[in-house]
Amino acid sequence: MMDFSQKTYGNLLGEMLGRISDAYDKRDASPIPTALGPAAYALEGFYLSLDRVQRDAFIATASGDALDELAVLGGLTRYAASPAVVLGEFDGPVPLGARFSALEGEMNFTVTAAAQGPNQYRLTAETPGTAGNHTVGQLLPITAVDGLTSARVTQVLIPGDDQEEDEALRTRLVTALNNPAFGGNVASYRSAILALDGVGAVQVYPTWNGGGTVKCSVLGADGLPGGEELVEQVQTAVDPAPGQGLGLAPIGAKVTVTAPEAVAVNVSAALTLAPGCELEQIRPLAEAALESCLAEIRRDWDSPVSQNPLAYGADVYLARVVAALMATTGVLNAAQVTLNGAGEDLSLTQSGQVQQVPVLGEVTLRAL
């Protein structure tokens, strides 16, 4: 790749002036540099455009629409944003198509289907993305419904997801080119399941219960264990009738879709605080840092740590937790840090029988 970083206005103008004899006046504001300046400015824009065109030609540096065009090399398209599907509970019947607005947060929902319970309905967010994942609570009617006095969202059934970012698409493309999906291999299961709305991650375990069996464990787009609705949706899409090849799985493959177990990580620590800082000020910042640390572990939950044999890992390392606390504003030192009562790493199980992910539990902090 050619380096155009030195093709700046100043350098270009200097190069052009260097080609002119010093016998002429080349000081600023003299006729010669004044005449050459616009050309140097135009050339700088040309080189910037040329650099962008060059970068957009390579997978490692392309972005936006250019990366979308390159994605077809791996048979991929960028994941579009998907809306959240939530469970609404009402004190009376509600017609399909009725619209409601969340009391907290600017999000509107449309009633799309009846749920199993009485006066329970599935509502779909009108705006795709993760914003619909945070609207549990009271609803206000947009559509007038006679006799209705209570409406609320009680849980998120299928979390919404934002449009896939460049780096995520780039990673998928490189993986697809180096490890192409074919004939029911692990890559084909990952590719098919991750393309489903609401799925954020998947672990695939081939022959987990004998020949022809496949276990697929999924996280939602919110990075948490998939709920019953999401698991059922993935099961229906992949293998609704085990072994019959009626879904995405090939004939003969018996696929079991499940969700991992959420393991609460209780953190205890003694903190040395900066002068003027109070523990109650630091507490929410420290909890946010710990949540971010565990979220990062969950993001890598479906990345294999070994290909042969295929194995996954999502252990919580004590050093990472200490680092998260130390990076919190106002914290000078973190000592006596324990995870679930022990001052050692927390190992989580990843196998065909049991899969686990860490979620933040009780946080106990004290000032030294």
What CATH number did the domain enclosing 236 receive?
3.30.300
pLDDT digits (tens, 9 = 90+) for 301-323: 999 999 889 999 999 999 999 99
Mean pLDDT value of segment 266-280: 95
pLDDT tens per residue across span 189-235: 999 999 999 999 999 999 999 999 999 999 999 999 999 999 999 99
Decide if pLDDT at 272 tops 80: yes
- In a shared domain, residues 247 and 290: no
309 in any annotated domain: yes
Which residue in the block uniquely carries the two structure tokens 């009780």?
A: 362
Do residues 13 and 51 both lie within one domain? yes
266 and 360 both lie in a single domain: yes
What is the C-alpha separation between 323 and 328, in angstroms, rounded? 9
Same-domain check for residues 356 and 270 = yes
pLDDT tops 80 at residue 92: yes
- CA 65 vs. chain centroid, Å, equals 20
Confidence category of residue 116, pLDDT binned at 50, 70, 90: confident
Please, which pLDDT band fits residue 179 given cuts at 50, 70 and 90? Answer: confident
Mean pLDDT for the stretch of residues 174-191: 91
Q: What is the pLDDT of residue 183?
A: 83
Same domain flag for 254 and 265:
no
Over residues 82-111, mean pLDDT: 93
Count up the domains in the chain and report the number: 4
Average pLDDT of the residues in 19-48 = 92
Q: Which residues contact 16 (CB under 8 A, 6 or more apart)?
A: 36, 39, 40
Q: Is 127 part of a structural domain of the chain?
A: yes
pLDDT computed for residue 271 by the predictor = 95
Which residues on neighbouring strands pair with residue 82, listed in sequence order? 161
Asked if residue 302 belongs to a domain, the reply is yes
The answer on 363 and 266 residing in a single domain is: yes
Poorest-pLDDT segment among 116-120, 161-165, 202-206, 347-351: 116-120
Please tell me the predicted confidence (pLDDT) of residue 41: 95
Is 65 part of any domain? no
What are 131's two structure tokens? 């914003």
For residue 190, is it within any domain? yes
What's the pTM? 0.81
One domain for residues 243 and 267: no
pLDDT at 95: 95
pLDDT band at 32 (very low <50, low <70, confident <90, very high): very high
Residue 169 lies in a domain: no
Q: Check whether residue 275 and residue 186 sit in a common domain.
A: no
The pLDDT of 173-181, averaged and rounded, is 90
- Model confidence at 103, pLDDT cuts 50, 70, 90, reads confident
Mean local confidence (pLDDT), 59-82: 95
Q: Specify whether 249 is located in the same domain as 300.
A: no
Could you tell me the residue range of the domain that residue 326 belongs to?
Answer: 261-367
143 and 115 both lie in a single domain = yes
pLDDT score recorded for residue 29: 86
Both 144 and 209 in a single domain? no
* CA separation for the pair 21, 249 (Å, rounded): 75
Q: Is 80 domain-assigned?
A: no
Domain end, chosen from 210, 230, 258, is at 258
Q: Are 69 and 33 in contact (CB under 8 A)?
A: no
pLDDT above 80: residue 55: yes
pLDDT at residue number 28 = 87
Closest CA relative to residue 320, chosen from 297, 341, 349, 288 = 297
Query: Given a cut of 90, is residue 173 above it in pLDDT?
Result: yes
313 and 273 co-located in one domain: yes
Is 310 contained in some domain? yes
Task: List phi, psi (to 5°) of 128.
Answer: -65, 155
% the chain with pLDDT above 90: 91
Domain boundary among 258, 278, 294: 258
Per-residue pLDDT averaged across 21-38, rounded?
A: 91
Mean pLDDT, residues 70-97:
94
